Structures are given as structure tokens and as C-alpha cells.
Amino acid sequence: MTEVKQEGKSHKEKRKEYTYNKLKGLGQEIIEEIEKQKVPSIRVPSRGTGNIVYDDAKRYYVLGDRYGRRSLGNVKQIRKLGQMVYVANFCKDLVARDKTATIREMYYVSEGWGISFKTQQESNIVGEDLEVTLGTTREDLGLMPEEDGASVYGDITLFDETEINASKMGKSGYTISPTIDQVDFLDYNVDKVLAVETMGMFHRLVQENAHKRFNCLIVGLKGQAARATRRFIKRVNEELDLPVYICNDGDPWGFHIAQVIISGSAKLAHVNRDLATPDAKFIGVTASDIINYDLPTDKLKDVDVMRLKELSKDPRYKNDFWQTEIKKMLKIGKKAEQQSFSKYGLEYVVDEYFPAKFEEMENQA
């Protein structure tokens, strides 16, 4: 068992202090402008497509250097700026009291502000504007999505209000909370992470004791990984130095789910630094797997072909591995699900496929 060294303040305390100071500083900046008899304004980084750039060095999307300014001197911006201030004050109270609210709850709370939002989409956008302006995340601000993250199973001990071991939480493992940054890692006895797209595969791996056989954490993504799931993967990769391997369905959508974990998404360019895991490896299901393992397949639909062609032009897929697999899938015109290995028996994926893949990854290292 490897104990995680705890130095000084906990992860939760550090994030809380940073976020609270950012929120407080925003308010102080406005007050100081008023005291100097200046018109208050807030500089907000642009999240338009023209300001979203793929950073080759960081290997994920980031925001460029374009900014806009919201000012009380502009009649058209008064309402939007007022909403930002109200949301910031609401979040400051949440952070100070160690509380959270769903983004839906904030939308309804705003009804009492006298400057309410017309739709929840409008309130969501203002929340995103606040996180990009402060350089923090909405989770740190105390704003949560409606859904939790997915599940993790394996020998890792966390402190989440109480001490928890993810291999002793029943067959469904530990549910990754949206407040994952308030969780501390205490110790672990694994040397890798295996993330799988479907919960069906997650439960198959748990049943076959894959966490012991491969000495790994098993993460069930539940399809497109929630922000909390991506943050968990990022943290165990960086803080515990655990290599991450991803196995999804062998189709363009499975490729995309993996790449969002690896290189982030354009939409979340402002928080990819906290979510992307550039060193994570996609191990399958690849087009080569479909051929080499003679897997049951479905024919690519027109929308699949169109999506594969889009991916081939995406800077996240420019390396030889992705280009080869995309071209190969287009050539064979077939796609396959993770569960297609069951053609050879329920245990085959654990007995044969993953051992071969891990050996292949080790030989490439």
C-alpha cells in the first residue's frame, strides 16, 4: 500500500482558499472603482470559437488572449454584469459555508434577486463566464451539475467526509462525486487506471476481478465522461503518477469520448487544464482490433463516416496512430462494441484481450 503524503493544507482547503480569494477580489475590484468614481467593469475572456486554440505543447484546447469588457457604462451590459455580480456573491456564500447548489437550484434562487434569468441556459452561461473570468471551475464555486460522475473500483482509499476504499463499496464501487476536488487520496495499491466506456464492461471487469489481475483501478465512464470523472482521472494520473488506459466502443463516438479525456473539449477550453489527461492512452477498440480479433460488427452509417472524416481533420487526432485507425475504419466500413469480445466467451476480454493490450503498451513505453 502506497501512502499519499499530506503536506500542510488538504486539497479541499487549498482549492477553497484560492476560490474564496478570487471571488472576494472580484468584489473588491468593483468597490475600488466605485470609490475612485470610475464606472465599474469586468474583463471577461472570450469563449467564442475564434478564441479557442489547440495548444500543441499542452496537448489540449485553451482560450486565446481575446477579452471583452462588461461595463455599467454600457446600457446593454448592465443586466449581464449585475447577474455576474449576483452569481459571484451567491458562490462566495456557498464557498464560505462549504455548501453546494446545483445549477438548476441557482436558477430558481435567482428569482429572488430582482435580476433573474430568462432561462436556465442564460444562468448556465453566466456561471461559465464567472469561472473563466476567475480562472477557476464551477465545481470550486460550489455549482454542481444534476448528475454525479461515474464509478471507480479498486484498491484506493479516499477521504470523502469519511475514509472510503473503492474496492469495499459493493460491486458498483465508489461513485465519483461532482465535488471530487474536495476529496483527498490517502493511499493506494494499484499501478494503473483502466477506464471503460460502458457500465456493462465495468461490471464485467469487476466480476472477473480485473482490478486484482491487472493491479488497476477500473473506472466506468457511463458514455461521455462527466467533468467529475475526467477530473478524477486527471488527479490520479498527476498526483499518484498512475498511467491511464481507455477502452471504448470501436466507432467514431468511442474515439471522441476517449479524446475528450485525453485532450479536452473545445467547449471547455477554459478548464481543460483541470480536466484533460494528455498522457492517457487509447487502447481500443480500434479498427485494427476489429480485424485482428474478427469481431462482430455493424456497418458504418453515413453519420459515422461523416464524423470520422471530421475527426481526421481535428488537431487532436493528427498523430500517426489516430490517422491510421480512422483511415482503416473508413476502409473496412465497420464498427464494433466493447461487448463484441463476448463472441469468444464472457471471460475472453479479461483473459486474452486486456493482457495483450497491456503488454503492447509496455513494449511501446
- The string over 137-157, giving b where at least 16 C-beta atoms fall within 10 Å of a residue's C-beta and e elsewhere, is bbbbbbbbbeebbbbbbbbbb
To the query of whether residue 188 is one of the catalytic residues in this protein, the response is no
Rounded-to-10 torsion of CA 64, 227, 312, 328? 160
Length of the chain equals 365
CA distance 17 to 29: 18
Helix or strand run (H / E) with residue 195: strand 192-196
Contact 196, 219 (CB under 8 A): yes
The residue among 244, 203, 246, 247 whose CA lies nearest residue 336 is 247
Contact 319, 326 (CB under 8 A): no
Which 8-state DSSP code applies to residue 351? Answer: I
Catalytic residue among 18, 20, 54, 108: 108
CA distance 66 to 345: 55
Q: Catalytic positions, please?
A: 108
